[in-house]
Amino acid sequence: MTVSREKNELRKLPMMPIRDMVIFPYMMTPFVVGRESSVRALEEALTGDRKIFLATQHDASIDEPKAKDIYQVGSICNIVQSVKMPDGNIKVLVEGIERAKSTEVNDRDGFFVATVRTGKTQFEMTAAVEQLMQRVTSLFEQYVKLQQSLNYETIIAAVRMDEPSKLSDTIAANLQLGIEEKQELLAIFDPAARLARIADVLDVEIEKLDLDRNIQSRVKRQMERAQKEYYLNEKIKAIQKELGRGEKSEFDELRKKIESAGMPKDVLDKAIQELKKLEAMPPMSAESTVSRNYIDWLLAVPWKKRSKETRSIDYAEKVLNNDHYGLEKIKERILEFLAVRQLVKNPKGSILCFVGPPGVGKTSLGMSIAKATGRKFVRLSLGGVRDEAEIRGHRRTYIGAMPGQIIQHMKRAGTKNPVFLLDEVDKISSDFRGDPASALLEVLDPEQNVTFQDHYLDVDYDLSQVLFVATANVLHTVPPALQDRMEVLRLQGYTEQEKLEIARQYLVKKQREQTGLSDKNLVFKDDAILEIIRAYTREAGVRNLEREIGNVCRKVARKVVKVGAKHKEEITAQNIGEFLGVAKFRDSEVHEKSEVGLVTGLAWTEIGGSILTTEVQVLDGKGKLTITGQLGDVMQESAQAALAYIRSKAQALGLAREFYRNVGLHLHVPEGAIPKDGPSAGITMATALASALAKIPVRRDIAMTGEITLRGKVLAIGGLKEKLLAALRAGIFETILPRANEKDVAELPDNIKNSMKLHFVDNMDEVLALALESPLPTATVPAETGVLAGVPPAEISGSLPAPQ
């Protein structure tokens, strides 16, 4: 480029400082004037040739700038339009004419007057200048395409011009730059130098926009259905990564947490190693999320925090007595456990298992242990759990993997020595996903649980300080290996007197509070509670008793709301029917009279003891024994054994030696919709068969239970207390029991021993002598043989078995 002539001019013009913008020549720019000094400068220009010098402030926050606060280079502008607004401000539209540099600034009558020097450079168009103009135009087109905030068609049309000075100023005005960068371009008077500088700026800006577009593409590929908020967060992370700014502060904080968590050395090393891997991963990657979750779980699990344990025996005894009535053996065992902990500094964790019918207080006992020892309490319900991963967790390789319930509940407890209740351990199932009961073997073994390994954490975790308490209704569904790891404590059903005391001390008060009543509104008499126990509930526990008391309280609450707060109800045995309706159970289940082939037996169920009536009918037939009442295999085999014994004693019963050839026997246990099983009804079925065949009635006021052998021996049974309670509830006060169970009488409540007559027998002869109303007829046994001759083979299904 060849410069031909350069001319400088000095002019005095009103000067106005402007904020947050740079005005270039050839550009139309609107803005609002509000400062008093600026308004005066504007008015001065309007009274003259409408020319004004506009220069940008260094600091936009200064309301009254001095000459030193204003850039020297600005633009001489022509005031195209000015409009005074209602708020006193003036809206102005100016057109830039040429750039100028202030050489002197004076304050006159409250506004600035600047002496400015203009510089006009004239030159000839050369090939180099034309090539530079083409390059700048091409770069600007790329810039506008990448810059989404600019209208491509409008801007490109505006820059299609042949004059270098006008082209450079138009492009500079439309660049998205900061004030300082724009001011730098304004200060370049030479059009060619200005074009060269703009080309450099465009190169940098295009590179920035390309980088931003790459970042957006990268984030979008990694988002996978991400929402807007997630997208913005990830974009920030990507920008920080490109700028070389890591998340050091967050990693430092994680490192401090890991070092202060109290982890064992091997766990600490693994956590630090995982943290290093996390630092090296891209923040947006799926692997970083997995690693971060793993570190969070390692930090969330308690490694050293423990509850301060209360070891006062007196306090623990007080808590247990306040929370539960009776259960003396259970309370003694808990107090023994606490006594040992006082003498031994670091005893191994005990595993207790409470077994008993529903509603006897197994779960609440676990809560009371936690309260008595000052530990945290967590409860895990195992009912229906059939996946081994529920206990041990999933491997981290799976999507959505989490630790097992043991580790999750330890996190919830927040301490390493809570009371951990494993509820309904007898309801665990198993399928193709594994056996949760097998996974519990390590958890409940004091020798092994010090190094319990969850699949997700994949490190040893110490469970030895946890007090595990399991609950179950029955034990036969719990695997033997699991039973072996627990100390089984049996909770028997409550007696009528115990239920009365529980209702008095706990249930009535609790239900009264829950329904908003006071002792002035509702009074329960003892005879009313006994009537509810006898006529409206049949259970080993007290859940239904509490439910019925709650029903009464709600009905009284309704009356109190309707009549007034001073209304009072006294519940007695005479008016209980008004609140609970017709009695659900009869006072006694004793048969109305003694009958042939009708015997009262005793049974044990998961909800306590019950009466089990057995009936036998002799029919015409060919020796077939029909068994009905939905009896299980064991119970059917007991019936076959009972009949085999009766056949071997046929002549003692006064029967013909081949009586079975002309008769059929039907044995039925009522309530046929309910499945029944077990061997303890053996003597009951044998007595019913003997009575039906000998035509001698069975006493209606006696009940029995015991297993029978082919030779008539009576074997021991289980659930003695529950069975005797069932007899007592049914109004039966005399029972026949196996001699082997005589040792269990010492553990029976006094009210059972005092109110019932217990007969202990060794064989069926004693049973029949006690149960039948009249003695069996005496018969002469033929001398030639004591075995029935000519017995046909047993039929395949339900036939009489041949004597052995």
Known catalytic residues?
680, 723
Compute the distance between CA of residue 595 and CA of residue 171 in angstroms, rounded to an integer: 117
**The amino acid at 658:** E
Residue matched to tokens 């000015």: 82
Two tokens at 779? Answer: 């018969």
Beta-strand relationship, 595-596 and 569-571: unpaired
Task: Dig out the tokens for 501 from the structure.
Answer: 């005391």
The token pair at 644 is 């085999």
Q: From the CB of residue 500, how many other CB atoms can be counted at a distance below 10 Å?
A: 19
Residues 426, 431, 436: CA angle, nearest 5 degrees = 45
Asked whether the beta carbons of 176 and 147 are under 8 A apart, the reply is: yes
Residue 15: in which H helix or E strand, if any? strand 3-18
Residue 765: which H helix or E strand, with range? helix 764-771
Q: How far apart are CA 391 and CA 410, in angstroms?
A: 12
Hey, what amino acid is at 691? S
Q: Count how many residues are written for the chain.
A: 804
User: Rounded to an integer, what distance in angstroms lies between the CA atom of residue 498 and that of residue 496?
Assistant: 5
Q: Pull the structure tokens for residue 399.
A: 């999507």
Tokens of 397: 């390789």
- Locus of tokens 């000075």: 165
Is-contact 471 423, C-beta < 8 A?
yes
Number of C-alpha atoms within 13 angstroms, CB side, residue 8?
8
Q: Distance between CA atoms of 502 and 361, rounded to whole angstroms?
A: 11
Cβ–Cβ contacts within 10 Å for residue 580, how many? 19
Count CB atoms within 10 A of the CB of residue 362: 26
CB atoms within 10 A of CB 126: 12
Bridge partners of 751, per DSSP, are: none
Ranges assigned E (strand) in 440-561 = 452-453, 460-461, 467-472, 487-490, 522-524
Residues near 582 by beta carbon (within 8 Å), at least 6 away in sequence: none
* CB distance 405 to 340 below 8 Å: no
In this structure, the strands spanning 3-18 and 111-123 are antiparallel
Give the type of residue at 605.
T
| CB-count burial class (<10 Å; 0-12, 13-18, 19+) for 527 | middle
The separation between the first and the last C-alpha atoms of the chain, rounded to the nearest angstrom, is 131
Distance CA(577)–CA(527), nearest Å, equals 13
Tokens 């004059």 — which residue? 163
DSSP string, 727-762: HHHTT--EEEEEGGGGGGGGGS-HHHHHH-EEEEES
- Does residue 467 sit in helix, strand or coil? strand
Residue 739: alpha-carbon gap to chain centroid: 51
Dist CA 117 CA 726 (whole Å): 117
Which candidate, 526, 501, 490, places its Cα nearest to that of 324?
A: 501
Q: What are the φ and ψ backbone dihedral angles of 602, each rounded to 5 degrees?
A: -120, 135
> In 42-146, where do the E strands start and end?
51-56, 73-84, 90-108, 111-123
In one-letter notation, the amino acid at residue 222 is Q
